[in-house]
Amino acid sequence: MNWAGIILAAGEGKRMKSAKPKVMYAIAGRPVLGHVIAAMREAGIGKIVVVTSPSAAAVRAYAESLGAAHVVQEQQLGTGHAAACAAPALAGFSGTLLINNGDMPLVTSDTLKAALSAAEGTGLAIVAFQPPDAGAYGRVLCDANGYLDRIVEAKDANESERATTLCNAGTVVADARNFFCWASKLENGNAQGEFYLTDIPAIAKREGVRCAVMEADATEVMGVNTRAELADAETQMQQRLRAKALEDGAGMTAPRTVFLSFDTVLESDVQIGPFVVFGPGVTVRSGAEIRAFSHLEGCTIERGAIVGPYARLRPGAQIGENAHIGNFVEVKNSTVQKDAKANHLTYLGDAQVGAGANIGAGTITCNYDGFDKQRTDIGAGAFIGSNSALVAPVKIGDGAYVGAGSVITSDVSGGALAVTRAEQKEHAGWAAKFRARKGAEKAKKGN
């Protein structure tokens, strides 16, 4: 089939009360627009055009990064006008168009596919749903045969029309040539003075084309217009991602407290404790355990590794097989090889930690001088004593020891001991003399 998609994303998003375009707000670590593009792609729609407002350069850049085309709607004259703006980008296209609001992050490819097939009979279909509260949604009025009579926007509806519970999701499927012809006939004599996409079926009807109505699951097609709806969409998406992870064999003690990203990979038999947050780009391999209150982003955890509680893994952290990253340990752009341990209060940045190395509590890789980042290389089986600062660039050889409290500024040879702290001195009997002197002074003051 020859399918193309138009995504409407040029609205001002006034109800968000934000300078940021609403389609750029993230749901499960990916902008709302990215979810819509992904669902369309999965449904088999290759060519996608995103309609953007002149000021939304970020939306255009993001669409481009996902391989979608974009056009500018110079003035926000309504959803029908916005869809018509995509015409030049689709010049020469003949086939079926799927037009979707850009603010529908929960839509699935199955629903879009169902909408595409619903239009096969008549060449026109819309998607409808029954939200718990019809509120500001357009009302879908059907004829006796179940075809669409017309859509009335809430602001234009009379009382009995507003009482209708079937609402317009915002998805329209139509033959491309017919669509642009109908769109040129739209008028804006309505409550908002806009050219509504929702008037297309009424125009088609005048020309004898019936519009099929495909009813979708209400949670899938909810629009994100306010911050409260954005939060609701996040909740729904999290439920979906958690259910999928559990079904795929990940263990979670308290799923409702675990936050996943759209691309989180949890292999079977991983165990996730309560209150763990996954930013984008995380893979956890079979048998690894992520303990409570850990925050992970852009990292890979190999089989059998243990992370947390209270660990922070930042982009570029690679935790090897059976390695341990414990409480209050931060790892960024560093590889921790198999069986290595950093169990307490440590910062590993731009580092390599060799297999089986032990990083003592309070170890810090000093990787930044205010201008450049430098690397620390810790050899296999090395032992870094507690509270050591490793000033990069620096290398600690295989099997070497660094004495606790050392500040290491030059390379340490394999198998050596490096200690930089002042040597310990002992004064025999000092404590008793000290106490006697201080006690006498205090007694004198007291008199």
Residues recognised as catalytic: 344
Q: Nearest approach, Cβ of 8 to Mg ion (angstroms)?
A: 9
Choose one: 47-55, 97-105, 199-207, 210-218; the region binding Mg ion (CB under 5 A): 97-105
- Is 102 an interacting residue with respect to ligand UD1 (CB under 6 A)? yes
Q: Residue 137 binds which entry of ligand UD1, Mg ion, none, with Cβ cut-offs from 5 to 8 Å by kind?
A: ligand UD1
Cα–Cα distance, 428 to 80 (Å, whole number): 91
Q: How far is the CB of 277 from ligand UD1 (least distance, A)?
A: 28
| Tokens read off for 283 | 């893979």
Residue nearest to ligand UD1 (CB): 138
* Residue 99 near residue 8 (C-beta atoms within 8 A): yes
Q: How far is the CB of 378 from ligand UD1 (least distance, A)?
A: 50
Binding mask 141-160 for ligand UD1 (x = CB under 6 A): ----------x-x-------
Contact status: 124 vs ligand UD1 (CB under 6 A): no
Q: What does the buried/exposed string (b/e) look like for 112-131 if buried means 16 or more CB atoms within 10 Å of the residue's CB? A: bbbbbebbeebbbbbbbbeb
First to last CA, the chain: 103
Q: How far is the CB of 32 from ligand UD1 (least distance, A)?
A: 9
Residue type, position 179, single letter = F
Q: Interacting stretch for ligand UD1, rule CB under 6 A, among 168-176, 212-220, 278-286, 368-376?
A: 168-176
> Least CB distance from residue 241 to ligand UD1, whole Å?
22
Question: Would you call 412 helix, strand, or coil by DSSP?
Answer: strand
Query: Among 217, 79, 223, which Cα is nearest to 151's?
Result: 79
60 vs 117: CA distance, rounded Å: 30
Q: Which of 4, 8, 270, 351 binds ligand UD1 (CB under 6 A)?
A: 8
Strand partners, 391: 366
Nearer to Mg ion, 103 or 302 (CB): 103
Q: How far is the CB of 223 from ligand UD1 (least distance, A)?
A: 3
Question: By three-state DSSP, how is residue 224 classified?
Answer: coil
Question: Which phi and psi (to 5°) does residue 125 adopt?
Answer: -150, 155
Phi-psi region of 436 (alpha: psi -120 to 50; beta: other; left: phi over 0): alpha
**Is residue 128 a contact point for ligand UD1 (CB under 6 A)?**
no
Place of tokens 């749901």: 27
Length of the chain measured in residues: 447
Query: Does residue 168 interact with ligand UD1 by CB under 6 A?
Result: yes
Residue 82 contacts ligand UD1 per CB under 6 A: yes
The stretch among 103-111, 237-245, 270-278, 300-308 that binds Mg ion (CB under 5 A) is 103-111
Q: Is 111 in the site for ligand UD1 (CB under 6 A)?
A: no
Q: What is the smallest separation between the CB atom of 199 and ligand UD1, expressed in angstroms?
A: 8
Which of 85, 33, 40, 97 has its CA nearest to residue 62? 33
- CB-nearer residue toward ligand UD1: 175 or 220: 220
Nearer CB in complex with ligand UD1: 12/441: 12
CA 396 to chain centre: 37
Which of the ranges 191-199, 258-266, 361-369, 406-414 carries the binding residues for ligand UD1, by CB under 6 A?
A: 191-199
Residue 80, classed as helix, strand or coil, is helix
Which of 53, 108, 198, 225 is in the footprint of Mg ion by CB under 5 A?
225
Residue 352 CB, shortest distance to ligand UD1, in Å, is 46
Question: Are the C-beta atoms of residues 321 and 339 closer than 8 Å to each other?
Answer: yes
Segment interacting with ligand UD1, rule: CB under 6 A, options 114-122, 164-172, 271-279, 283-291: 164-172
Q: Looking only at residues 61 through 80 of this chain, which bind ligand UD1 when binding is defined by CB under 6 A?
A: 73, 76-79
13, 29, 223, 279: residue in contact with Mg ion (rule CB under 5 A): 223
Other C-beta atoms closer than 10 Å to the C-beta of 105 total 29
At 407, which helix (H) or strand (E)?
strand 407-408
**153 lies in the binding site for Mg ion (CB under 5 A):** no
Peptide bond into 309 cis (omega under 30): yes
Show the tokens assigned to 240. 């979906």
Q: Choose the one of Mg ion, ligand UD1, none that binds residue 180, judging by a C-beta under 5 to 8 angstroms depending on kind.
A: none
As a three-state string, the secondary structure of 121-155 is CCCEEEEEECCCCCCCCCEEEECCCCCEEEEECHH
* Interface with Mg ion (CB under 5 A): 103, 223, 225
* Interface with ligand UD1 (CB under 6 A): 8-11, 51, 73, 76-79, 81-82, 101-103, 136-138, 151, 153, 167-170, 196-198, 223, 225
